[in-house]
Amino acid sequence: MKYLVLLYALLFTPYLQAALHEENVDYRAGDTVLKGYLVWDDAKGDKQPGVLVVHEWWGLNDYARKRARMLAELGYTALAVDMYGDGKLSEHGKDAAAFMKAVTGQAGLARQRFEAARELLAGRPQVDAGKIAAIGYCFGGATVLNMARQGVDLAAVISFHGNLATDTPARPGQVKARILVLNGAADTFVSPESISAFKQEMARAGADYQFVNYPGAKHSFTNPDADRLGKANDMPLAYNADADNRSWAAMQELFDEVLKP
């Protein structure tokens, strides 16, 4: 009997003890202190692929942290990045718009802050620095697409209901990352013209990309708080469980191809 108990302990104790490691991390880009959230599960392996999670325009909130934890449960070390600095966030559209414009209105600032987060993640001992990807939601989706356009060294970028328009389209041969765009077909923030322009841009650049439209899905379709936030800010936001689940599965499929052996 004691041998059976010992065998059970050897086989199952690591799984019973496994838990997510969560760490609030401060890092810098220029003079700005950025406050990220790092999470991983060391039971998933010693050298894990890394994934950067870029928040919606509300800032690095609990939703972005939740997505980072979900990635850690899949075997990735995830860093939810702070694009605004000092962990600024809001649930008011006017404040969020001001935060966003403060970043996007300065040439090179978004990339500087993104690269600072990438450097932090790549330097973690449990991360395979050669396998780093990025996902983003809304503002974050546009951010990761722009990083791919600029040739940032990433295995893949995935945009969930992100803006597609850009003033700096990708040049031929510049895009290194696999690109997956997951869009709501009923998203009034993304026009048919911008979709057409994006596809033409990707074709001219020779990018390896996929564009998926989810019928009936509106802006922010992955966020369960979208209806509440939309109502409070008089914005056409809505959660869509089907599109949420299907888009997360599409992300996993791509990551299985490019990040896992």
pLDDT of residue 18: 56
Q: Does 16 fall in a domain?
A: no
Q: What is the DSSP string of 34-90?
A: EEEEEEE-GGG-SSEEEEEEE--TTBS-HHHHHHHHHHHHTT-EEEE--SSSTT-B-
Supply the range of the domain harboring residue 61: 21-258
Distance CA 243, CA 137 (A): 14
Amino acid at 199: K
pLDDT of residue 45: 83
Q: Does 163 fall in a domain?
A: yes
Summarize pLDDT for 152-211 with one digit per residue, the tens.
999 999 999 999 999 999 999 999 999 999 999 999 999 999 999 999 999 999 999 999
Q: Does 226 fall in a domain?
A: yes
- Segments of the chain scoring below 70 in pLDDT: 1-18, 261
Cβ-proximal residues to 173 (8 Å cutoff; 6+ apart), any chain: 205, 206
Q: Is the pTM of this model over 0.85?
A: yes
Cβ-proximal residues to 151 (8 Å cutoff; 6+ apart), any chain: 170, 174, 175, 176
Tokens 């945009």 belong to which residue? 159
CATH number of domain containing 106: 3.40.50.1820
Q: Does 5 fall in a domain?
A: no
Q: Does 8 fall in a domain?
A: no
